[in-house]
Amino acid sequence: MRSRIATLDFARGLAIFGILLLNISAFGLPKAAYLNPGYAGVPSTSDTWTWAVLDAVAQGKFLMMFAMLFGGGLYLLLPRGKHWIQARLSLLLFCGFLHAIFLWDGDILLSYGLIGLVCWRMVREGRSSQSLISTGIILYMIGVAVLAMLGLISSPSPGTFWVPGPAEIQYEQFWKLKGGWEAIQNRLDLLSSSLLAVGAQYGWELAGAMLIGSGLMRSGWLKGEFRESHYRKVAAALLPLSLLIQIPAIYMQWKTGWDYRWSGFLLQVPREIGSLMQSVSYLALCYGFWSVISGWRLVRWISQVGRMALTNYLLQTLICTTFFNVLGFFMHFDRLQLLALVPLVWAGNLLFTLVWLRYFRQGPVEWIWRKLTLKASGVELKSA
């Protein structure tokens, strides 16, 4: 049992680390740069290759991986009852709202809490693990289909959110460095746009990934109950296939100069399809080689990070917003240089986690989350 928990924690820690590979660009560059490396003209060769590699190995993969683990966690919470689950997810939603308004506009917690509140009943009512997985795939593919439809009906002319002018870039730099009410107003505007995207398209994919994760947990797959050879075969089949689907689309984005309709919508479709398979393959690699890697010190450390996943996600925000916004390093680095900063943030996660767990059983935010959930739900638990 201890090994299974460690494997789940390692996968969570790996997802938290992987999410930062893309988030670092969102912290250090204008918002348009996240998906469009040509937002300010022809990018440098190093920028282009950094974008291409990250698009192939990280973009969307670790978010979907974390969503599947989140869905698996929802299944494990079912015995605690609806009041506990609703209180827990509502508090996560509220935490995400505060995070998005007062700290950073790239928050994912609000979306996870919101979609979790919609999905947990579907997890509870699922007839079998296979029905949960099948429903999850259908929901995910609806999200992909909506993305393709938006590409077909969208205007070919990009808005300033895709190709901002010098004035828009300068203003974004201004409010991020200034902070205060100006920054809060802009983050509120960005949050409203984000929620529209969740409702129209991304929420389908997120819900699908959560249901797939709950089905994998219910079947025992995410508990590590299958043979390691099975997990290795899954990874060997899905990982090359996912890359085969995505790499041509990455090349086409590059060749079209990150054209808005193609790169913003149509050529994201192969990535979204490949990302789901790639996320499963990453999880399969964790489980398939667990007997080999479980004794490594680094793996144990990353597992500890996974025990404090929420704390460490918010800690990354605190580190990055302090560095880029408070200290004024926003727009001082290109993509490759930003990528080189990622291990330093990881080191901050590891150091804080290892010190904290030496004295406490769970992370500070996790502790507060649990205590508030107890009060809000009125549920008494005998153990942590």
Query: Which of 204, 203, 202 has its CA nearest to residue 265?
Result: 202
Residues 6+ apart with CB under 8 A from 247: 56
Residues ≥6 apart with Cβ < 8 Å to 284 = 231, 232, 234, 235, 238
In contact, 89 and 116? CB cutoff 8 Å:
yes
Q: Residue 159: its pLDDT value, please?
A: 77
Q: Give, to the nearest 10 degrees, the angle between helix 129-153 and helix 109-125.
A: 140
- pLDDT (tens digit per residue) in 291-303: 999 999 999 999 9
Report pLDDT digits (tens) over 13-46. 999 999 999 999 999 999 999 989 999 999 999 9
CA separation for the pair 56, 250 (Å, rounded): 8
- CB neighbours of 266 closer than 8 A, spacing ≥ 6? 148, 151, 152
Locate the domains of the chain by residue range.
2-30+39-375
On whether the CB atoms of residues 19 and 11 are closer than 8 A, the answer is no
Let me know how many helices (H) and strands (E) the chain has, helices first: 17, 0
Q: How many CB atoms lie within 10 A of CB 153?
A: 8
pLDDT at 93: 97
Retrieve residue 277's tokens: 């398979």
Helix (H) or strand (E) holding 135: helix 129-153
Residue-wise pLDDT tens digits, 115-174: 999 999 999 999 999 999 999 999 999 999 999 999 999 888 887 889 999 999 999 999
Tokens standing for residue 79: 């015995």
Q: What is the pLDDT of residues 275-291, one digit of tens each?
A: 999 999 999 999 999 99
Query: Contact at 8 Å (CB) between 144 and 273?
Result: yes
State the residue for tokens 């291409």.
Answer: 52
| Tokens, residue 144 | 């992909």
Among 322, 380, 366, 32, smallest CA distance to 177 is for 322
